[in-house]
Amino acid sequence: MTITDIQQQLSEKGLKVTPQRIAVLEAIIKLNNHPSAENIIDYIRKNYPNVSTATVYKVLDALVDNELIKRVKTDKDVMRYDAILHAHHHLYCTKTDKIKDYFNDDLNHLLANYFKKHRILDFEIADIKLQIVGKFTSPKKNALKKRNSLPK
């Protein structure tokens, strides 16, 4: 994802392409692990010390409204943000408060099929998110290295 890509994404949504918006979107992509507004502000200020807190929040709202990013919320934490829009779920570690992306199209199809057959009365499903809560365990010595996250 280059700066040009980001500019184009903003432009396609009819949003004015401003340095602040580029910086916020870039920060979320670079930081990559569901940053909070504070994380994003700290990151951006390294290069643009004068960006206002309020601006970052307003930019985040605009990006969410235009579906360029998503909000991610845990039971304990402040709001976090996620630039990855490809359908995925989240693993929440109750010990460390870490959130990890969990991609599994197989599971998505299973759920989609399930709800195609068993509709929920008086409800139109737009999106299904799994919050998989538990604990990260230390990697087993001989386990194959496998990734839950999308290749760059």
Partner DNA sequence: ATCTAAAAGCGAATCATTCTCGTTTAATAT
Partner DNA sequence: ATATTAAACGAGAATGATTCGCTTTTAGAT
Show the binding pattern over residues 109-138: x = contacts DNA (CB under 7 A), - = does not.
------------------------------
Q: Which of these segments, 7-15, 94-102, 120-128, 140-148, binds DNA (CB under 7 A)?
A: 7-15
Q: Nearest distance from residue 38's CB to DNA, in Å?
A: 6
* Residues ≥6 apart with Cβ < 8 Å to 46: none
Residues 41, 54: contact at Cβ < 8 Å? no
Interface pattern 30-69 for DNA (x via CB under 7 A): ------xxx---------x-xxxxxx-xxx-xx-------
C-beta of residue 103 within 8 angstroms of C-beta of residue 149: yes
For residues 28 and 83, the answer to whether their CB atoms sit within 8 Å is yes
- For a copy of itself, the closer of residues 7 and 108 by Cβ is 108
Tell the burial category of 127 from Cβ atoms under 10 Å away from its Cβ (0-12, 13-18, 19+): exposed
**Could you list the residues that contact DNA (CB under 7 A)?**
10-11, 15-21, 36-38, 48, 50-55, 57-59, 61-62, 78-79
